[in-house]
Structure 1
C-alpha cells in the first residue's frame, strides 16, 4: 500500500502550528479534503482529530464517506471512526479494507512515528506564507543525525501564498 504523509510547514521549515492568530489556509485545508477523498481515507492522531471535531462547526462533514483511522495508544473508542494502537495497525486496517493508498494527515507526533518506522512513500508539504519563532520539526530519526534523499514529484502554488511540494521517499 502506498502511504502519503500530508503536512503544512512554515516558510522557515517548522511544522506549522495553527492557532486563532494563525489559522490554517483555506487552500491547504481544501487540498487535504481532496487528497482524503481521492485516497478514501485518512489517518490522524487523537488530539488532532479532537481539534478537527471542535473546529467542524456542526456543518456537513467533507469526510462523511471516508474511512478515518485515529491512532491512539490509550485505546479509547471514538464513535464513527476506527481506533488503531500503532501506525502499522492503522495501515493494516486500511489494507484489509482494500485501500491502495493511505493518507496520513495527523499531528507532528504521529507523522514522526510513521517517518521513524520507514512507513512513508511520499510526502506532501504545503508551505504556508508565515514564519514561526519556535516550532516542531518532522524527523526521520529523533535519536540520530541522518539524511534521507527524496525525489521531487511536483511543485505547484495552491493560492494565498501556499506552495505545495510533493516528494517520493525511498523505503
Structure 2
C-alpha cells in the first residue's frame, strides 16, 4: 500500500501550528479534502480529529454522515487511549491503520495529521510520499517532522511536483524511497 503523508509547514520549516490567530489556509484545507477523496480515506490522531470535528467548524456527526465533507471516506483515528468514536475506526498503531485500510481494499493511505502521528509513520519508515503545503507565515518555537528523534540521520527524497495552491501557499510533493 502506498502511504502519503500530508502536512502544512511554515515558511521557516516548522510543522505549522494552527490557532485562532493563525488558522489554516482555505486552499490547503481544500487540497486535503481533495486528497482524502482521491485516497478514499485518511488517518489522523485523536487530537487532530477532535479539532477537525470542532462544533465551530463541523459536528462529528456531520463529518462522517452522508452529507458531511468526508462522506464515504474511511476515517481512521490513531489513539492509545480511546476505544470507540462513532462513525470512525480507532486503531492503536500506524501498522494497524495501514493493515485496516489495506483489508478494506484501499491502495493508498493518506496520513493527515498530528505531529506525533506524522513522526511515528516517518520514524517507522512507513511513508512513500510526502505532500508539504508551505504556508506564508514564520513561526517562533515550533514542532518538526522527524525521521528519527534520537539520531542525526538523513533520508533522500525526490521532488515529484511543485505548485502554488493560492493565498501564497506552495505545495511540494516528494517521493521517499523505502
Same-fold call, TM cutoff 0.5? yes
Using the TM superposition, name which of 74-83 and 96-105 deviates more: 74-83
TM-score by length of 1: 0.98
Q: Could you tell me which runs of 5 or more consecutive residues in structure 1 were left unpaired when the two chains were aligned.
A: none
> 1:145-164 maps to which residues of 2 (within 5 A)?
145-164=152-171
Give the CA RMSD over aligned residues: 0.9
1:124 aligns with 2:125: no
Give the aligned length: 171
Q: 5+ unaligned residues in a row in structure 2: which ranges?
A: none
Separation in 2, partners of 1:46, 1:57: 16
Q: CA deviation at 1:26?
A: 0.1
The answer for the alignment partner of 1:144 in structure 2 is: 151
Whether the aligned pair in 1 keeps the contact of 2:48 and 2:114 (CA below 8 Å) is yes
- Could you tell me how far 1:56 is from its partner in structure 2? 2.8
Matched with 1:38 is 38
Provide the C-alpha distance between the structure 1 equivalents of 2:57 and 2:96, rounded to a whole number of angstroms: 27
How many angstroms does 1:57 deviate by? Answer: 3.1
SS in structure 2 of the partner of residue 42 of structure 1: strand
Return the offset for 1:47.
0.4
- With normalisation by structure 2, the TM-score equals 0.94
| Equivalent residue, structure 2, for 1:27 | 27
> Does the residue aligned with 1:105 lie in a helix, a strand or coil?
strand
Q: Is 1:57 aligned with 2:58?
A: yes
Distance across 1 between alignment mates of 2:24 and 2:38 = 21
Which residue of the partner structure matches residue 102 of structure 2? 95
State the alpha-carbon separation in 2 of the partners of residues 97 and 161 from structure 1: 37
